[in-house]
Amino acid sequence: MGRTFTLFTYKLRFFFGPALRGRFGPLAYLALILIFLPSGFAFGVTLGTTVRDADPTAAIDVLAAPLAGLLSFGLLYALGAGVTAHASEFDFFLTADVRPREYLVADLLFQLVSLLGAGGLSAAVAAVGMAVTTGRPAVAALPLFALLIVYTFFVLMTSQVLVILRVRFPKRPVRLVTTALLILSLIPSASLADPAFPIRFADLPLPSTAFAALGLAVLRGTTWPILDVLLALAYAGGIAAAWYALSKTYIVHGLRPTMSAGFGQVDMGSRMEIQRHMTARLGVVTTRVRFRPERGGATSLMTRLHLVRIWRDGSILFVALFAIIGILSSGVGRGGANPIGVVAVSQLLTFILGILAMNWAFYERENMWIVLTSAQGPGAYFRGLMLSFALIGLGVTGAFLALLEATHSLRLPIDSLALSIASPIGGGFVAAALLTRIKLKPSALSFAALGIFFLVSLGGILGGLAAQAVVLAARAIGVFAVAAQATVLLGFLLAFAAFGLWTVTRLAATFRL
């Protein structure tokens, strides 16, 4: 245990050390954790509201969806690295007298503690929101959180077992089996979008279904179903037994360095290598979208430039993945399609713009010398950046609303629709404005990075609330026709976008590298 503890503490210090010993000490880390508490509580309230009003089968489907999403992340990780290892560990630890089981235990504990350190508080707040919304005391969140920890540990062990099998049996189709498990775990999520879909979580003996049934029993104050208890124990015990039997396998030759930076840091060399691989693999598809510089004006040119860049560098995969996970895990599904849930998901999707803005600050800002030395100046560049962010946000939100219309025939009131449509425009405006002033350092977690992430989301929310207020004000003064309210909303959106473009142009005029 001595060597295991040494490895474990080394991993923790390497990962969290830069964030806790930065310029502001642990304040930046705490700020990042606290930013997600309102979202975590809102997520818990949304799930709790859906579960409270649903029948047991539908409630299990809703609770199992985020658990299936967590398992899918573990299976995706197993297809890649599956084990977190820094390059220094290969030089100093894996060449020493460290047994495979000791290293795997240390890595397992590190992954669990890291996940809890990054999102544990938000998950706990979400559990409280679920318990309170369903009429249970706040202390009921404790068994919910305990079930989540056990399930997370199960997912991490499953990922390690699949990696060990892949290294031990290189000629066996382990990756193919992992992919099949990934697809199987996600197929029932389709029942949340389409109630007529024949396959549902409650119909399959999946681990997410068993733990969801136990969580539902906690929320409703009933006895735990014995079959689901046995199923959860069978999954947890089975994967633990498999892990114990396989953990003696020598796997060092099958590992590769995957942890190149600490919490909140960006290793530019590693990221550029990943970017190169993604660009090469996606090139067959992404290069079919051509960039035609001879068409349109300067702002149109820059907008298309940013959209093509986001498409070709693989960021579009992140946008799609975040949108799918946000929608499926929101509770806006079977019995849960309502304006409040739709607006909550629309606001969640503004986080996409914050992360895209941080990516630009890390990877594209240094290329601005090309724009600054041109005769046109950076105004059109940042106007295009704002419009590209807004178009991506509107595209994701529009796809979500179209899905709801097709599967639930849900028609949102014009004020809720105003909030969902204006939020991406507000988020894009704030993102482009901030990027003319904030410079990020990839070496450490900073308040600048938190500021971009938080203020972009806040700008989206405020922009949506402003649009909603305009529609409600028009209704208050006697504009009751839907067409008239839509005209008022369109006028506000055009004026808001024009104001954003004007402001970004003024700020871009004094941009400095």
Tens-place pLDDT, residues 261-311: 555 555 555 555 555 655 556 555 656 666 677 677 888 889 988 888 888
Residue 319: helix, strand or coil by DSSP? helix
* Other CB atoms within 10 Å distance of the CB of residue 89: 23
Compute the average pLDDT of residues 417-437: 90
483 burial type by CB count under 10 A (0-12 exposed, 13-18 middle, 19+ buried): exposed
DSSP category for residue 188: G
Supply the pLDDT for residue 173.
87
Least confident stretch, 128-132, 152-156, 413-417: 413-417
Q: How confident is the model at residue 431 (pLDDT cuts 50, 70, 90)?
A: very high
| Predicted pLDDT of residue 334 | 46
**By 3-state DSSP, what share of the chain in percent is helix, strand and coil, each rounded to 5?**
75, 0, 25
Instruction: Please state which of the ranges 3-12, 150-159, 488-497 shows the lowest mean pLDDT.
Output: 3-12
The CA distance from 356 to 323, in Å, is 13
To the nearest whole number, what is the mean pLDDT of the chain? 80
Residue 138 has pLDDT above 50, yes or no: yes
What per-residue confidence (pLDDT) applies to 265?
55
Among 8-22, 99-113, 381-395, the range scoring the smallest mean pLDDT is 8-22
Q: What's the confidence (pLDDT) of residue 321?
A: 73
Integer Cα distance of 213 and 209 in angstroms? 6
Q: Is the Cα dihedral 331, 318, 284, 281 positive or negative? A: negative
CA distances in angstroms from 191 to 180, 183, 334, listed in the order given: 19, 14, 7
- Region 470-488: mean pLDDT is 82
Confidence (pTM): 0.70
What span, in angstroms and rounded, lies between the C-alpha atoms of 216 and 60? 7
| Tens digits of residue pLDDT in 364-388 | 888 888 888 887 889 999 999 999 9
- What's the Cα-to-Cα distance from 454 to each of 39, 205, 397, 420, rounded to whole Å? 12, 40, 19, 18
Contacts of 490 (CB under 8 A, 6+ apart): none
Residue 335 predicted with pLDDT over 50: no
Segment 316-343 mean pLDDT: 61
Q: Per-domain residue ranges for the chain?
A: 2-248, 268-508
Residue 288, pLDDT score: 64
Give 62: exposed, middle or buried? Use CB within 10 Å, 0-12, 13-18, 19+. Answer: buried
Percent of the chain with pLDDT over 70: 78
Q: Which position has the higher pLDDT, 199 or 180?
A: 180
pLDDT at residue 247 in the model: 87
pLDDT digits (tens, 9 = 90+) for 84-106: 777 777 777 777 777 888 888 88
Q: Which two tokens stand for residue 399?
A: 């796809």
- Place 391 in a pLDDT band, splitting at 50, 70 and 90: very high
Q: Summarize pLDDT for 212-248 with one digit per residue, the tens.
A: 999 999 998 889 999 999 999 999 999 999 999 988 8
Of the chain, the end-to-end C-alpha distance in Å amounts to 50
How many angstroms separate the CA atoms of 403 and 192, rounded? 11
Write out pLDDT tens, residues 50-62: 888 888 888 888 8
Whole-angstrom Cα distance, residue 363 to residue 353?
Answer: 15
Cα angle 198, 200, 203 (rounded to 5 degrees) comes to 100
